Amino acid sequence: MAGRNYWKVGLWLALGLTGTGAQADEGMWLYNHPPTQVLRDKYGFELTDAWREHLQQSSVKFGSGGSAEFVSEEGLILSNHHVGSRALQRLSSQEHNYLRDGFYAPTKAEEKPCPGIEARVLMNIEDVTARVNASVQAGMSDDAAYRARRATIAAIEKESLEQTSLRSEVVTLYQGAEYHLYRYKRYTDIRLVFSPEEQIAFYGGDPDNFEYPRFDLDICFFRAYEDGRPARVRHYLRWSKAGAAEGDLVFISGHPGRTDRLRTVAELEYLRDVEYPRTLERLKRLEVLLGSYSARSAENARRARNDLFSARNARKVRDGALAGLLDPKVMGIKRMEEGQLRAAVAGNPQLADAREAWDRIETAQREIQARSREYDMIERDYGFNSVLFNYARQLLRATRARLEPDGERLEEYRYSARSSLELELFAQTPVYEDLETLKLGDSLTWLAESLGPDQSLVKQVLAGKSPHERASELVHRTRLASPTLRQEYYKGGTQALGNAHDPMVELADLIDPPARALRREVDARREAIRQAHARIGGARYLLQGASQSPDATSTLRLAFGLVKAYEEDGRRVPAQTTFDGLYRRAAEHNFQSPFALPQRWLDHKKKLNPATPFDFVCTADIIGGNSGSPAVNRNGEFVGIIFDGNIQSLQAAFLYTETQCRALCVHSSGIIEALQRVYNAKPLVRELIGK
């Protein structure tokens, strides 16, 4: 292990990079394979099972993505404003814009139920690699292997759900080298407790997003209910009195979404040359579309706000990641590492079965690439960007899936995922016809541009109309905006759905055969890639030990690091910001949007202690999906909440470098000070700190 690391550091130094490799606080560790030894050696910290279990079960995952934590025994959940924004958007109307203006329920009776929102707590993990792999026989085609594996995974999940009543999910780790079963307790009655104004939660707006120093109160409190009463939770985080200070060791427990550090060069080239550029094209056209729609009126801006924020945020992430992949230094490291590993494998007769793995991945990746445009357009939502279309497809596939054996269904319609699907599908959420028409019209335009308006499926989809006419007709004629009808169709099954003659369902039906065919082709190639990675993973383990955590998979991970300043363009960037800094930044920009302050923050300025820490940075290894994760100290006490990474962290999707990569947190003391002095939220503060 040491050998590998010195070798890696040497390589990176040769390429002019420093602060990388095993000396760094790299790693998004599995809770069932925690970095116990590293923490002991580097920080003298003894990671006990009890400490770990407490943090694990205090950690919360939202069904729609994003992290959170329990912070009181009465089921109080803390997350980010931008994680809660989907719920806030759904609760808002032209009359009450909670997303923009904030919300506070001083009593439990005033807490607002959030339809369709689900919170999950990871209860335990079981390694099921052997059972999953046993289902794949030597000599199977990729497609057969994929189907066999899928059937076994479905059986494991169903069995577990029936035995434990916990949401059960088999997670693919190390790109296919391991399979672990994750079991979650679900909370489906989630209510809104407190949210600040967007203007302070997302202070600095898109310009400051992924920048540091920052001054954001990016928080949002919810409460989990069970049987109509606040959930009594055994594990929740106690609030630290002092919070974190520079040099402190902190731990981050959350759900990083995706990294690609263990990918082969062929896979990275695919990301660089195909996936990222196309995703960015999608995001930029969406950003222009929604930006232009939003500029027309305040109500439009309200309707599109969450979509627009998501598009901008994702665009910034992808732009940063693509810049990393286009940096010859980054790709140079990846090529050299792969070359070294392949050379070691080639020289070791024990590892003969891994030798072809890289070439197999390259071939499968090339085959995926050949279908990727069609796949993105037809099976992903690139060509059909519409909530209503998505309902139609879900209804169609869910009712049909019931006629198939569980093991043959697409994974999102498996028995084990059913109740979460129903929660989302039946939720009463607003649908705006004008916005739907706009989005669907633009994506149908892109479909026609991408596959050609004279391609036969495209012609059938457009039915002799222009993309905008067709979108308008579909959105105005479908009845799927009604949750009652969606529930009725769902319960009535394929028969009821067919009798409905809903044009959106008919559209979903029209494209389903080619979409399923593409899915099947691509899934088989992905299976081939998983099998090859299983071999590479085995070889790497043999050569280097378990020195690297698996790539992020939206599942719970433990990261750690120090609260630490850094240098940028020769200037020191401090580890913490203060309220004083917030007011100075606003003044520098003449209090103009996005640097304006909410009226309440202007009114209560004098009450605030200007030296209170507001945001801070640490070296812990995080990525998108970690938003809302708690930062805790050695005692497991809450010291802050992750809300962003700095711009240098964006290429950490491929390569973590400690020199400048930083995770951004709101400081625990800043939260209390704001709740007390600006929002006068006494009951909430009492629940958090007991006074």
- Upper half-sphere CA count for residue 563 (Cβ side, 13 Å): 26
Count of CB atoms situated within 10 Å of the CB of 556: 28
Closer residue to a copy of itself, CB minimum distance, 107 or 592: 592
Show contacts with a copy of itself in window 548-577 (CB under 8 A): none
Interaction between residue 452 and a copy of itself (CB under 8 A): yes
Rg (CA), the chain: 25
315, 342, 533, 557: residue in contact with a copy of itself (rule CB under 8 A): 315
Closer residue to a copy of itself, CB minimum distance, 163 or 297: 297
295, 352, 370, 546: residue in contact with a copy of itself (rule CB under 8 A): 295
41, 46, 110, 281: residue in contact with a copy of itself (rule CB under 8 A): 281
Interaction between residue 296 and a copy of itself (CB under 8 A): yes
CA 503/CA 389 separation, integer angstroms: 10
- Give the end-to-end CA distance of the chain in Å, rounded to a whole number: 49
Minimum CB separation of residue 428 from a copy of itself in Å reads 30
Residue 122's DSSP bridge partners are: 184
- For the window 329-348, what string marks contact with a copy of itself as x by the rule CB under 8 A? x-x-----------------
With contacts defined by CB under 8 A, name the span among 30-38, 175-183, 327-335, 473-481 that binds a copy of itself.
327-335
Q: Which residues contact 132 (CB under 8 A, 6 or more apart)?
A: 149, 152, 153, 156, 170, 179
1, 13, 134, 326: residue in contact with a copy of itself (rule CB under 8 A): 326
Minimum CB separation of residue 309 from a copy of itself in Å reads 13
Closer residue to a copy of itself, CB minimum distance, 278 or 634: 278
**Strand pairing category for 249-254 and 557-562:** antiparallel
Closer residue to a copy of itself, CB minimum distance, 331 or 631: 331
DSSP H/E element including 616: strand 613-618
CB distance 63 to 424 below 8 Å: yes
Interaction between residue 302 and a copy of itself (CB under 8 A): no
CA 30/CA 281 separation, integer angstroms: 34
28, 91, 200, 462: residue in contact with a copy of itself (rule CB under 8 A): 462
Minimum CB separation of residue 638 from a copy of itself in Å reads 33
Interaction between residue 30 and a copy of itself (CB under 8 A): no
Closer residue to a copy of itself, CB minimum distance, 162 or 281: 281
Residue written as token pair 């049987």: 227
Show contacts with a copy of itself in window 167-226 (CB under 8 A): 205-207
15, 144, 323, 510: residue in contact with a copy of itself (rule CB under 8 A): 323
Angle between helix 418-426 and 387-401 (nearest 10): 140
- For the window 576-615, what string marks contact with a copy of itself as x by the rule CB under 8 A? -------------xx-x-x---------------------
CA 225/CA 83 separation, integer angstroms: 19
- Upper half-sphere CA count for residue 68 (Cβ side, 13 Å): 33
Q: Which amino acid is present at 46?
A: E
Interaction between residue 298 and a copy of itself (CB under 8 A): yes
CA angle, residues 72, 75, 81, in degrees to nearest 5: 85
Q: Which residues contact 275 (CB under 8 A, 6 or more apart)?
A: 372
CA 359/CA 402 separation, integer angstroms: 39
User: Which 8-state DSSP code applies to residue 274?
Assistant: I
Residues that bind a copy of itself (CB under 8 A): 205-207, 272-273, 277, 280-281, 284-285, 287-288, 291-292, 295-298, 312, 315, 322-323, 326-329, 331, 445, 448-449, 452-453, 462, 464-469, 589-590, 592, 594
